[in-house]
Chains A and B, each alone.
Chain A
Amino acid sequence: MTLYRNLTIGQKQIVWAWAFLAIPVLFYVVIRFYPTGTAIVISFQEWNLLGSRSWTGLDNYKKLWHDPVFWKVFRNTFAYLLLGTPVSLIVSFVIAYHLDKLRFMHGFLRMLYFLPFMTSAVAMAWVWRWFYQAVPIGLFNNILAGFGIAQIEFLNSTTHALPAVLAPAVWAGLGFQIIIFMAGIRAIPTSYYEAAKIDGVGWWMVLTQITIPLLRPTIVFIVVFSSIGFLRIFDHVFNMTTGNPGGPLNATKPLVLMIYDTAFTGFDMGYAAAQTVVLFTILLVVSLIQLRLLKSN
């Protein structure tokens, strides 16, 4: 205690700071950084969880390169990204743009759009799975039948299954993106719009020359945030395709589901770890490219 009293104010601050940080720093080292290293190390090993680990060099990565399932999964993962991100970005912007101009029951409408964000992915995956069933079970096909339209094979089709699985993921995320967009639109100073009004500029010009350019930071945030979400899609796919994981001919299988299957059904830990390293690299590269592209100018 006397030792502490003899310290200067600056030194006391250092002592306090590290006292506050001791447990958290330990946590981040043990629960975040050490496991990251372990995952990379295991990716160069062969291990089935029971036997001993053995070094295999790049074998897991070579195996991945020659695995047709991996390339199918790779395409699927990017299909989720390339379909999901633009669709949810455009739909949420259009809704936010128009919702911002309404005052009558504004809060109620906003609530309707936001409600799906508060649901759990697992619960909603099962609800949508029921919607997609064939006549006479599924809601969508029953409605189609009511209009005399031919049935659609949703989850059992190799072509329709992926968008069908993606739809509830987009649906659940829309509310969040709409709220963020509306906050972004509100933050644009009204003086810009007043100036445009005085100059008699049309709404399309206002939208493309004022609103969208000034929303750039919001758009960057939403694109990066939703891209990461779609690249990591798992809950919806897992729950909509239990019994046939990954859908017909792996039509819906994303990378995270492949990782889960390899690690916790096949217990091929080395191979699964190599897949997680690939996922990490994809996430890093995609985020960096997007930040670069969208932040330039």
Chain B
Amino acid sequence: MASSNSSRRSLVVSLVLTLAISFGALFATLGAGWSPKLGLDLAGGLSVVYKPATHASLSDLQEVTSVLTNRVNGLGVSGAQVNLQGRDVVVSVPGVTNARQVLKTIGQTAQLLFRPVVCYATAPSSKAVEVAPGKLPACGSSYYTSPANLGIVVAPNTANGYTGPNNIADDPAFTNIKSTSPQNDFKNDYVLLPVLGQTGVRYVLGPAELTGKAIKSALAQENQSGAWVVNYTLTSAGSPQWDKVAEANFHGLLAIELDGVIQSAPLIQPTQSSFTSFGGTGEISGSFTETSAKNLALAMQFGSLPVRLVPLTTETVSPTLGHSALVAGLGAGLAGLALVLLYVILYYRALGLVILLGLGLTAALLWAIISSLGHTALAPSFDLAGVTGLIVSIGITVDSYIVYFERLKDESRAGRTVRTSVDRGFRSAWRTVLAADFVSFLAALLLYLIAVGDVRGFAFFLGLSTILDVLVTWYFTRPIVILLGRRSGAGNSAMSIAAGMGSGATDE
């Protein structure tokens, strides 16, 4: 038939194109050196899901996301992702080996607060207990770190440019009181906090006068004399607020507090005899090391979260465990695949080989797609949940062949030749495959849209392979089986198509 010939040509074209595209894409990906972006449970790394402690607007959460993104990028870690999923903020940093250290830096979730230092406190005794929020005793007046007691005197000819501050003793009233814990660290209360990196050194601080929102940026730099300083810029709204606070604490100590720890407590303008406006920028100098200056700059710039975050779940995975999970996942997948192939080849003979080729094609396409997506960071990274999604999809993919081949058996039982069966069988199988794949895709899509974390990877790869299944069924299975069916004439050898269809089939 003429129509049969032209159709044959389009079938061959479709088949050749599909094979060329699939394996071409695979080799292109391999050639480009792209490989799937492994999720943290396979590559090792860190993932944290945060929830705002109090009600937060969507714009607050978006600000949190950008602050955390900056913070993570500020660490020089590559491949990190910060996403907003529903009202949760998901941070994932795959491939880091020192996950717990990284976690500590990202995990500084509190607001940055500026509080005046009221007095120095002694180190806590072993009997120390925490007092209720707001119930901290007042500092003894002789221990006040007020500008008057500190006695800063401007001395332009000294190294520092000023003398002082006077030594003020630690107030012993706080010996039996523990430092205020982060969850009791309220903005409007007096608090007792430790100083970063100095064991046993604690200050009593007054209510916060400013939050980190006033800071636009902060940068650790070396000044002319080679000492590390932190230069910061204030926002336009923050600048007058800062001046007001600084003026009130002129020649006093203003503590920069992050997550219940005093990062630094600089003196305000000790080299000037009277207060002058900061004009939107400032510099904190002192006995900084490079690391401590950079940490303070990071804390000042990125510590300013609009809401406090509570970690819902924290996970760190060591690279070795990740690797062993990858081996387990691949081993399980390959073993399962081998079993399935063995079964279908025994059951369907030559048609089983079609499944083998089809799965090889699907695998090539999947590898190419996953690698390319991983390269562009569009898709969720490939994790154990994704591996499971793919393993589950083996069943759905192979089922499309089974539906078709069982239809072929039906057709051949009806006494039709292989040649007609392949065409008729495909038409009815195609509808079934579409309906069934649609349902599977629907499930994957809904899971992807609604769920968080791991689930999205699972749903993504399940949905992806469902779409591939539809395409492969049309562009590969249809042409190859129809072409084989038309060529079929070799009689009833064990590997012929008819052998895979039961006794009713007759070859032409």
Partners in one complex: no
Binding site for B on A (CB under 8 A): none
Binding site for A on B (CB under 8 A): none
